[in-house]
Chains A and B, each alone.
Chain A
Amino acid sequence: MTDQAQILPGTLDLLILRAVSLGPLHGYGVLLRIAQISGNALLIEQGALYPALFRLVRQGLLKASWGTSENNRRAKFYELTAAGRKRLREETDGWKRLAAAMASALALQSEE
């Protein structure tokens, strides 16, 4: 697991929003989707997901409802609200700019 990166503080919320933006998911599904879209590159302790999910629900970015999973287990499903979709757009743009800036800055430094 050494090739996995610890996620930066504050990025988990963005990852969750991104994961859920592709369709309603239960908590475990969110985890799998993050692993899938990040190419298994990010390490998240599974339980840490839930405080983040509840926080996002409280902020009105996600909404939750009980349903049944693909293998017939009762589970709570999360989906984006309009506010969540908007936040995702903003944060994605912001993150892209930051990442580009970081990348170019680090690239400059390594050439020195």
Chain B
Amino acid sequence: MRLLASMRNVLWTLTHRSRVNDELDEELRAHIALRADDLVRSGIPRPEAERQARVEFGGFDRYMEASHEAAGSLWGESILHDLRFGLRMLWKSPVLTAAAIATLAIGIGANTAMFSLVDGLWLRPLAIADPAHVVAISSVKNHAASDSEEGDIDSSYAEYRDVRERTSAFADVAASSKRGIALETSEGLQMLLATVVSDNYFTFMGARPEVGRVPIESDWHDPQAPVIVLSHSTWMRVFAGDARVVGQTFNVKGGRATIAAVLPPQFRGTERLIESGVYVPQSTWVAWHPDERNLPRTDREYELYARLKPGATLDQARPQLERLSRDLSTDYPQANQDRTLSVAWQSRSSSSQLKVVGTLLLVLAGAVLMMACANIASLLLARNDSRTREMAIRYSLGATRRRLFQQMLTECAILGAAGIAVAVLLASWLIASVPALLPNIGFPLSFDFRIDHRVLLFTMIAGVLSVLICGVPLGIIITRTAPLEAARTHASPARLKMPARKIFVVLQAAATIALLMATGLLLRTLIAVQKADIGFNRSQNAVLMQINVDWEGPRRIAEFDALAARMRALPGVKDACVARVAPFALSGGGATRFVLAPGEQPGPAAGTPVWFNWVDDAYFHVLGVPLVRGRAFEHRDSTAAAPVAIVNQALARRLFATDDAVGKHLRVGRDQPQEFEIIGVAQDGKYAGITEAPQPYLYLPFTQDSWAEVTLIVTATKDARPLLPAVRKAVRDVSPNIMILYAQTMTDRIGFATYPSRMAAWLTAVLALLALLLAMIGLYGVGSYSVSRRVREIGIRMALGAPRNAAFKTVLNDGLKLTLSGILLGTGLALLLGRGMSSLLYGVTPFDPITLSGVVFLVLATSTAALLGPARRALRIDPANTLRED
């Protein structure tokens, strides 16, 4: 309230200044007139009386001004005055001002850009109705031991119905599942990333369509034609934004669909990274795939969300879900034993890795901003040396310390405002360049990074904080200067200021060490990730094409062979094979099978889920997966022969505590396990992500069982990208009924797998280099400043016979002492930071001594370089000149 009152006061003064002046003027004139009246009464003629009255009054303007000031309430005016004065002072030293604004803009701009990234990835509320009450429900395995188990949290559609009907804490529950569909348009087949959604989804999300009408649940009470809803980007890309497509019917695989509506551009449902191309209501999906109407409960493909009833809390929802979990595990032990439905705020359900990276980047950007502030304070301090006399004189003329302080703060605020403006420009440019940095994964990723009111608010807060951080200490230091002393001599004030500047430099060096350490660790992680043995030949060029075939049964196996053979015949192709999945698929490790441990009794809860792959006989050879024991699949492993399997080392060790598993038997399946003979042991590889711990993995031969959706792997003798169209055409030629889901090169696939490490490393590297630059500028400034202050002293020493290089050494020593203190402090910080980011590291420990010594060496070397300039200037001081001066 007081703030409001003083703002009103300022506004009033600014708008009524002339009225205040008029009143004052009138009062003083009245005084003169009254005095003149008295004089006239004593017999003096009026003109003479008036003249005398004016003389007796004294300097009219002076008293008017003094009265004005005495009346107070001039806070607003003094701000205006300070603004004008500050602008004039800054204008007088344009280089310094530009340097300060640029430094601040870099600091704030880095923060704005980082915040925009973090906001888009994690913080910003979803563009759905009432996002604050939306929770995510996951079906968690009670004793998850491997990555594949921890990631297994989806639910079946039947389970979705149970949650919706048998809990009371939620206003409503919705479900969604990612699929692919092929839409036949006049342009040909369009592969679209589809989200199959529960029929109430659009109502749940509060989606307001851009065109058309979104289907609601009650639409399905009567049988109706299947409908789909397009995303904005699909509408623009495939239909060029033509509103007439709404209501039209198209062929899709399995049936037909009418486009009911187009969603607005910002709609992503609960996703942040991926924009679905099309939304398919569950009823539509089931109309296309009648066999999916009663999928087993073990088929867990849906993510569940719910909205809490008004007034309901998570703590009320939890026991209800726990009760339901118990009921479900009794009713459906095969699907639900050892599973608990857990609930968490949807807003918190971003991946923890993302959160660690985001927090790290924000902390680092914050550190860069602090360093920028320190540099600006340092710059302004140096400039203010020349203004100490001015300050002292103003002080002795009656300006209060508060006024001088306000003046300093105003100057910082001007810099801050300019810094914020440039920072926003800088950040929007950075944000605009983000799409170019995104990985190529076969379909468009759509992060939604932008500079909106949230980001601007953050920028303003960062700006105001930086103004306070550099303005307040500066103001205190400057106004603390003893006025009399400062007015008398111009050498003394520096005494007070050096410690502040030295502290700035030490802190900067410390922050730089910490930032460089973070960067060093992430770069080493990146190198480790890029050199990591991922269990197959990563360096070969290959095309990966996910296709869906309509061949059935034994014919499918023959056709896969024919397809691979056809690819091998293409010019530029080295080899080809077919597998259910290739490593680092978007679905992560993909589907699992339950493998029983030796001696384990079959049962509804038996076995552990293990990622698995169906592969043809060329897979190990083509992809370069080494077999440490036994043999690869061959044609003789037919349906007529005994079932065979290949395990990786991790699975062999888990089952038999040894690599030597060839000839041993393995059981797959919970209730009626099937027995496989192990014919080979493959080397451990990476399946879902490069930084994962060794995961158990199972290979089964296509010749004994197969799958309709497979990945065609075609290796090339040269660059694989030019091969893409040829492979695509060859697949079409084999059969027009093969759907190409997506195609990408192995390089792109690996690039996607290493993307998080690359991004984290490069972003921190940029921030750390900025920090290093700022720290060096700071050190250079302190060095130069101390030389300029000590010109006379050095001159005298030289005149008295001190060796020339003594001055050089002193400057270097003094500077490096600061750096060393900073390095000590920074090492401590780096250790803390390393601990916080240990989950991001791979192949390097958080306290890696090699990285630390590299970082320390880098900082020492650049510090020395930054000090060389000032030190050389000390060397060039001519004693004769300095003594003559002054």
Name the B residues within 8 Å of A52 (CB-CB): 70
The reply on A26 being an interface residue by CB < 8 A is yes
Contact (Cβ within 8 A) A58 B71: yes
Instruction: Kindly identify, within residues 53 to 80 of chain B, every residue whose CB is under 8 Å from any CB belonging to chain A.
Output: 56-60, 62-64, 66-73
Name the B residues within 8 Å of A14 (CB-CB): none
Nearest B residue to A28 by beta-carbon distance? B34
Least CB distance, A60 to chain B, in whole angstroms: 11
The reply on B26 being an interface residue by CB < 8 A is yes
CA distance A93 to B879 in the complex (A): 65
The reply on B496 being an interface residue by CB < 8 A is no
Instruction: Kindly identify, within residues 263 to 315 of chain B, every residue whose CB is under 8 Å from any CB belonging to chain A.
Output: none
The reply on B33 being an interface residue by CB < 8 A is yes
Indicate which residue in B30, B62, B64 contacts A26 across the interface (CB closer than 8 Å).
B30
Indicate which residue in A51, A53, A75 contacts B34 across the interface (CB closer than 8 Å).
A75
The reply on A84 being an interface residue by CB < 8 A is no
Contact (Cβ within 8 A) A51 B69: yes
CA distance A71 to B60 in the complex (A): 23
CA distance A64 to B147 in the complex (A): 81
Least CB distance, A64 to chain B, in whole angstroms: 9
Least CB distance, A59 to chain B, in whole angstroms: 9
Indicate which residue in A46, A48, A55, A76 contacts B27 across the interface (CB closer than 8 Å).
A76
CA distance A41 to B601 in the complex (A): 119
Most buried by A among B24, B34, B62: B34
Contact (Cβ within 8 A) A47 B60: yes
Encode A38-68 as 1/0 by CB contact (under 8 A) with B: 0000000111101111110110000000000
Contact (Cβ within 8 A) B34 A69: yes
Contact (Cβ within 8 A) B33 A73: yes
The reply on B878 being an interface residue by CB < 8 A is no
Contact (Cβ within 8 A) A58 B72: yes
The reply on B721 being an interface residue by CB < 8 A is no
Indicate which residue in B27, B70, B73 contacts A75 across the interface (CB closer than 8 Å).
B27
Contact (Cβ within 8 A) A54 B33: no
Known contacts A51-B70, A54-B71, A58-B71; is-contact A46 B57 (Cβ 8 Å): yes
- 30 pairs of residues in contact across A and B, judged by CB atoms under 8 Å: A26-B31, A26-B34, A27-B27, A27-B30, A28-B30, A28-B31, A46-B31, A46-B35, A47-B28, A47-B57, A47-B58, A47-B59, A47-B62, A48-B63, A50-B24, A50-B28, A50-B66, A51-B63, A51-B66, A51-B67, A54-B70, A54-B72, A58-B71, A58-B72, A71-B37, A73-B34, A74-B30, A75-B30, A75-B34, A76-B23
Contact (Cβ within 8 A) B58 A45: yes
Name the B residues within 8 Å of A26 (CB-CB): 30-31, 34
Contact (Cβ within 8 A) B30 A50: no
Contact (Cβ within 8 A) A57 B34: no
CA distance A46 to B419 in the complex (A): 50
CA distance A89 to B34 in the complex (A): 30
Contact (Cβ within 8 A) B69 A73: no
Name the A residues within 8 Å of B69 (CB-CB): 51
11 more contacts with CB within 8 A, not counting A54-B67, A69-B34, are: A27-B31, A47-B63, A48-B58, A50-B64, A50-B66, A50-B70, A51-B67, A51-B69, A52-B70, A58-B70, A69-B30
Name the B residues within 8 Å of A73 (CB-CB): 30, 33-34, 37
Known contacts A54-B71, A58-B70; is-contact A74 B56 (Cβ 8 Å): no
Encode A73-88 as 1/0 by CB contact (under 8 A) with B: 1111000000000000
Contact (Cβ within 8 A) A55 B70: yes
Name the B residues within 8 Å of A74 (CB-CB): 26, 30
Name the A residues within 8 Å of B56 (CB-CB): 46
Indicate which residue in B30, B35, B37, B70 contacts A76 across the interface (CB closer than 8 Å).
B30
CA distance A57 to B23 in the complex (A): 15
Name the A residues within 8 Å of B27 (CB-CB): 27, 50, 75-76
Least CB distance, A47 to chain B, in whole angstroms: 4
Contact (Cβ within 8 A) B34 A50: no
CA distance A74 to B29 in the complex (A): 10
Least CB distance, A13 to chain B, in whole angstroms: 11
CA distance A53 to B70 in the complex (A): 8
Least CB distance, B400 to chain A, in whole angstroms: 14
Nearest A residue to B69 by beta-carbon distance? A51
Indicate which residue in A28, A45, A50, A51 contacts B35 across the interface (CB closer than 8 Å).
A28
> Which 9 residue pairs across A and B have the least CB separation, nearest first?
A47-B63, A47-B58, A54-B70, A51-B66, A28-B34, A54-B71, A55-B70, A51-B70, A58-B72
CA distance A48 to B34 in the complex (A): 16
Name the A residues within 8 Å of B68 (CB-CB): 54
CA distance A45 to B60 in the complex (A): 11
Nearest B residue to A46 by beta-carbon distance? B57
Contact (Cβ within 8 A) B71 A57: yes
Instruction: Kindly identify, within residues 69 to 125 of chain B, every residue whose CB is under 8 Å from any CB belonging to chain A.
Output: 69-73
CA distance A62 to B745 in the complex (A): 87
Known contacts A48-B63, A58-B70; is-contact A71 B34 (Cβ 8 Å): yes
Least CB distance, B34 to chain A, in whole angstroms: 4
Nearest A residue to B71 by beta-carbon distance? A54
Most buried by B among A26, A28, A58, A73: A28
Most buried by A among B31, B33, B58, B59: B31
Name the A residues within 8 Å of B73 (CB-CB): 58
Instruction: Kindly identify, within residues 3 to 36 of chain B, every residue whose CB is under 8 Å from any CB belonging to chain A.
Output: 23-24, 26-28, 30-31, 33-35
Name the B residues within 8 Å of A50 (CB-CB): 24, 27-28, 31, 63-64, 66-67, 70
CA distance A51 to B70 in the complex (A): 6
Name the A residues within 8 Å of B57 (CB-CB): 45-47
Least CB distance, A53 to chain B, in whole angstroms: 8
Instruction: Kindly identify, within residues 4 to 49 of chain A, every residue whose CB is under 8 Å from any CB belonging to chain B.
Output: 26-29, 45-48
Name the A residues within 8 Å of B71 (CB-CB): 54-55, 57-58
Instruction: Kindly identify, within residues 180 to 239 of chain B, every residue whose CB is under 8 Å from any CB belonging to chain A.
Output: none
CA distance A74 to B23 in the complex (A): 11
Name the A residues within 8 Å of B23 (CB-CB): 76
Name the B residues within 8 Å of A76 (CB-CB): 23, 27, 30
Most buried by A among B35, B59, B64, B71: B71
Name the A residues within 8 Å of B63 (CB-CB): 47-48, 50-51
Least CB distance, A23 to chain B, in whole angstroms: 17
CA distance A63 to B509 in the complex (A): 59
CA distance A46 to B71 in the complex (A): 18
Least CB distance, B366 to chain A, in whole angstroms: 43
Least CB distance, B31 to chain A, in whole angstroms: 5
Least CB distance, B99 to chain A, in whole angstroms: 42
Name the B residues within 8 Å of A48 (CB-CB): 58, 63
Nearest B residue to A29 by beta-carbon distance? B34
CA distance A81 to B27 in the complex (A): 20
Name the B residues within 8 Å of A75 (CB-CB): 27, 30-31, 34
Nearest A residue to B61 by beta-carbon distance? A47
CA distance A55 to B63 in the complex (A): 13
CA distance A46 to B32 in the complex (A): 9
CA distance A47 to B27 in the complex (A): 11
CA distance A57 to B73 in the complex (A): 12
Nearest A residue to B63 by beta-carbon distance? A47
Name the B residues within 8 Å of A54 (CB-CB): 67-68, 70-72
Name the A residues within 8 Å of B37 (CB-CB): 71, 73
Least CB distance, A83 to chain B, in whole angstroms: 16
CA distance A30 to B759 in the complex (A): 78
Most buried by A among B24, B26, B67, B73: B67
CA distance A97 to B64 in the complex (A): 35
Least CB distance, A36 to chain B, in whole angstroms: 13
CA distance A99 to B274 in the complex (A): 87
Contact (Cβ within 8 A) B34 A46: no
CA distance A73 to B28 in the complex (A): 12
Name the B residues within 8 Å of A46 (CB-CB): 31, 35, 56-58
Name the B residues within 8 Å of A71 (CB-CB): 34, 37
Name the B residues within 8 Å of A28 (CB-CB): 30-31, 34-35
Least CB distance, B471 to chain A, in whole angstroms: 28
Name the B residues within 8 Å of A53 (CB-CB): 67
CA distance A50 to B70 in the complex (A): 9
Least CB distance, A65 to chain B, in whole angstroms: 12
